[in-house]
Structure 1
Amino acid sequence: MQAIMNWLEKYVVPIATKIGSIKWLMALRDGFIATMPITMAGSLSTLLNALLQTYPEQWGWTGFVNAVQPIITIDGTVWNGSLAIFSIYFASMWGYHLAHNYGVDGLSGSLLSVAAFFMSINNTSMVSLTKNISQSAVKVLNDSGAVATNNSVTVNGVFAMGQLNSANLFTAMIFGAIAVSIYIWLMKKDLTIKMPDSVPPAVSKAFAALIPGMISMYAVSLINFLFTKMTGAFFGDWLAKTIQAPLMKAGQGFGMVILVTFLVQIFWFFGIHGSNVLGPVLESIWTPAQNLNIEAMKNHAKIPYQWVRGSFDIYAWFGGAGGTVLLIVAILAFSKRSDEKAVAKLALAPGLFNINEPIMFGLPVVLNAIYFIPFIVAPVVDVTIAYFITQAGWVSPVQVAVPWITPPVLYAFLATNFDWRATLLSIITMVIAFMIWLPFVKASSKIKVDDE
């Protein structure tokens, strides 16, 4: 055991520390975190409309649905202003944090990132018509500049909502990075217009960003122009199809799911916030999948992804990474050590809301050899069981983004759109984690008694 810990501490921990301090990855993580209010608002609107419209319609409660139609409309508006245009919010926060981390004006970085995103996605929108239109109507539309058929209309210069949701997150990441990186480099080279000290700071910042901002925007435009000329496709569309879609598909594979679970636990054991270190991986692969699940639920379509970002939380990371709320319960119920019980009593309330720092650093679990095995094994076992049951279709996948501080069990019930089977599976995985933790809690008590 000690040999393993020494090896991990020598080779793995330094790598994790370096990864966690990379400014780009920190900006990517912080960009996703900053969009949380938007994600939660959109998810809440979807959840409410499921309660007010989706299920009542299935039950034939037409009168009830008509009565609450104003609330349904409000929820739909919230959706349109949140998850329906999620990529815009992410692009803004990504650019802000990237520029800020390199010591230049974050607001300018935010604006450039959004501009780069819009320059890199297709601005042609096609609408399929539910009824065929007449040939005379087709002619009028074509004469007006649209491309029309009997059952569709394509308009140039209009961004489709489908281009602005999570489907184009990789476009926002890559082109935001290109634009803001050029801006940062030019700012560091001091290629700026300097204003007198008497000029207000806001004006000085705007003029300082003028030349770097213009050059970065033209650089992004040139890249897109050349790519479109050579391939006939927008770079953003190509990215979504060739990079984002395969990565999200790979994220449905057991190997990637279990590897990320294992690495998060390893980093956490050595006191490094594993979820933050691997945040860019978690958020860029499984969060877009979760957002597309939410959208599919809203549109009453088939849920496309079985394993998403929230799946880790409801089936393994209850109480925080490692399922530490079950460690707390095991200590309170079976430990004979007064020191561990004292810490567990203090950590119980935060643990119920998925805040595990008190138990991780107060017990501590970090670098505690007796708890190394259950801390690694419990989440890996739980994820394995939940993964295959979810993939088999025996429980509903996560399709609602729930605040991370939601207590376990309730978290599963809400996140899976009130699926009692998923709630039961969450309870089962919690029991399994408890049984894995329990022998080591008893062993810890015995070690303490022997020492005394």
Structure 2
Amino acid sequence: MNSFMDRMSEKLLPIANVFGNQRHLLAIRDAFTTIMPLMIVGALAVAINNLPIPGFQEFMGKIFSYALEDGSPIWKTLGGNIWNGSFGIMSIFMAFLIGDNLGESYKMNGKIAGATSLASFAAIGGMVGADAKGLFIAIIVGIISVEFLRFLSSVRALQVRMPDGVPQGVADAFNNMFPMMIVVTLVGLVTTLLLRFGIPNIINVFYELFQKPFMSLTSTLPAAIILAFVPPFLWFFGIHGANMIDPFMQLINAPAIEANAAAIAAGKAPEYIVNKAFFDAFVNMGGTGTTIALLVAIFLVARKNRKMSTISSLSIGPGLFNINEPVLFGLPIVLNPIFFIPFVFGPVVLSTIAYLLTSAKLIPVATVVIPWVTPPVIGGVLATQSIQGGVLAAFNLLLMVLIYVPFVVIANRADEKEQEM
């Protein structure tokens, strides 16, 4: 087993280093991290507007009796306004933030790179797809525009040198003036050529042909299983699995959450089961590998093991808020063959159960993005806006405790034998 783990580490660590330090993926990940609070409040606003509690709509209608000309209650405009300021302009945020982050990684002026990226996104028709529909195009245009800007800004003939003493921000603006103009002009030319060939808006066409089918493909049981398996598998070898796949996860998550919110607002059933809220609510309780269940299992069957009980006592507080590095490296779980099976395959079992029950409509679809520090079970209630979600989270947590128990017993016996030697 040790030789197997050594071989896996040798193969995975170089790959992880490449992905973990890849500047474009880092720019995307950090951009999503910046707008995460807006995704949370936007999804929550839509959920409150359409809260499926008997009498809630009538109660709110009586308190805020004024209605608009089209007959819609005025109190719902608050949620609509919040959506407009979050999901409604998500792609605009991403276009700027990716440009800013990528520019900074190249030691460029991040604001200028972000402005160029945003202007390019607008030039290609991005204002039509400012919501999550334009997310893929915003990412592609953001990366390409900054790469072009970086290349052009290195051409001396295009540089406008300012005298010493001019503020750095002003100097950067003039030095990048012609490169910025050229990049935006080229993107605008591409948009004109697309129009000539019968593509009035690339975002709408791309969404219908590629992005929407991609979302449907990933919102399946095999996708749920893969996304549940990869993070703990990487973590087992000491690689931060959640961070590794976060850029890819968010490409699924953001459009899926936005589409679910739009469906709810239109009185339709949300269709995208697999999203970040799904994993946060039903799988990653206590962190990757559902390690809060491991801590409970240790308290149940290995209280007399001083090392394990001490680590568990120190880890339970952070674990309640889904911070599990203390137990991952303290117990440890990383490179510990005893815990490989429950840590890696337990989440697969939980995601399968949650997917099947949600698909059978026994549990509402997770439609609200919850803060990643939301405690277990509470997250299930908030993500699905239902008691059923909390019940499923509690069931999965209990099941995971039972899965961990026999492996905790084995680890405890191994510690006892080691002490006897």
TM above 0.5? yes
Query: In structure 1, which of residues 317, 322, 343 is the aligned counterpart of residue 311 of structure 2?
Result: 343
Task: Tell me by how many angstroms 1:26 deviates.
Answer: 0.8
State whether structure 2 residue 150 is matched by structure 1 residue 184. Answer: yes
Which residue of structure 1 lines up, in the alignment, with residue 135 of structure 2? 169
Q: Which moved more, 1:62-71 or 1:326-335?
A: 62-71
**TM-score (ref. length: structure 2):** 0.91
Counterparts of residues 133-152 of structure 1 (less than 5 Å): none
Structure 1 residues 231 and 9: alpha-carbon distance in aligned structure 2, compared to 1, 3 A threshold: same
CA shift digits 1:136-155 (9 cap, x unpaired): xxxxxxxxxxxxxxxxxxxx
C-alpha spacing 1:56/1:113, structure 2 compared with 1 (3 Å): farther
Question: How is 1:31-430 mapped onto 2 (pairs within 5 angstroms)?
Answer: 31-51=31-51, 56=55, 62-66=61-65, 72-121=76-125, 163-189=129-155, 191-335=158-302, 336-417=304-385, 419-430=386-397
User: How many residues matched?
Assistant: 412
- AA matched with 2:141: F
Q: CA deviation at 1:364?
A: 2.0
Q: How much identity, in percent, do the aligned residues show?
A: 33
- After TM superposition, give the deviation of residue 28 of structure 1 in Å: 0.9
Structure 2: 5+ residue stretches without partners? 68-72
Distance in 1 of aligned mates of 2:266 and 2:319: 35
CA displacement at 1:182 relative to structure 2: 0.6
Q: CA–CA distance in 2 between the matches of 1:209 and 1:22?
A: 25
Deviation at 1:402, TM superposition (A): 1.3
CA contact (8 A) 1:258 1:383 kept: yes
How far did 1:13 drift?
2.9
Question: TM-score by structure 1 length?
Answer: 0.85
Contact 2:133 2:203 in 1 (8 A): no
- Match of 1:387, SS state, is helix
**CA–CA separation in structure 2 for the residues paired with 1:344 and 1:438:** 14
- The 8 Å contact of residues 124 and 190 in structure 2, kept in 1 or not, is answered as no
SS in 2 for 1:366: coil
Change (3 A) 1:398 1:176: same
Could you list the runs of 5+ residues in structure 1 that have no partner in the other structure?
Answer: 123-158
- 2: distance between equivalents of 1:328 and 1:189? 58
Specify the alignment match of 1:144 in structure 2.
none
Is this contact kept in 2: 1:330–1:437, CA < 8 A?
A: yes
Measure the CA separation in 1 of the matches of 2:301 and 2:74.
53
- Please give the alpha-carbon distance, in whole angstroms, between the structure 2 residues aligned to 1:221 and 1:344: 58
Deviating more after overlay: 170-179 vs 251-260: 251-260
2:65 counterpart SS class = helix
Q: CA RMSD in A?
A: 2.2
CA shift digits 1:24-55 (9 cap, x unpaired)? 1111111111111211221332344345x975
Q: Which amino acid aligns with 2:97?
A: M
1:243-293 deviations in Å (ceiling 9; x for gaps): 211211111122222222212111111221111111111001222101221
- 1:20 matched to 2:14? The reply is no
Offset from partner CA, 1:140-172 (integer Å, 9 cap, x none): xxxxxxxxxxxxxxxxxxx55xx2211110111
Contact 2:383 2:389 in 1 (8 A): no
Structure 1, 317-326 or 10-19: larger mean CA deviation? 10-19
Q: How far apart, CA to CA, are the structure 1 residues paired with 2:211 and 2:148?
A: 23
Superposed CA offset, 1:42-75 (max 9, x none):
1332344345x97545557642353897764433
Displacement after TM superposition at 1:425 (Å): 1.5
What's the CA shift for 1:225? 1.9
- Give the distance between the partners of 2:190 and 2:55, measured in 1 at CA: 50
Give the letter aligned to residue 313 of structure 1. Answer: D
C-alpha displacement at 1:405, in angstroms?
0.9
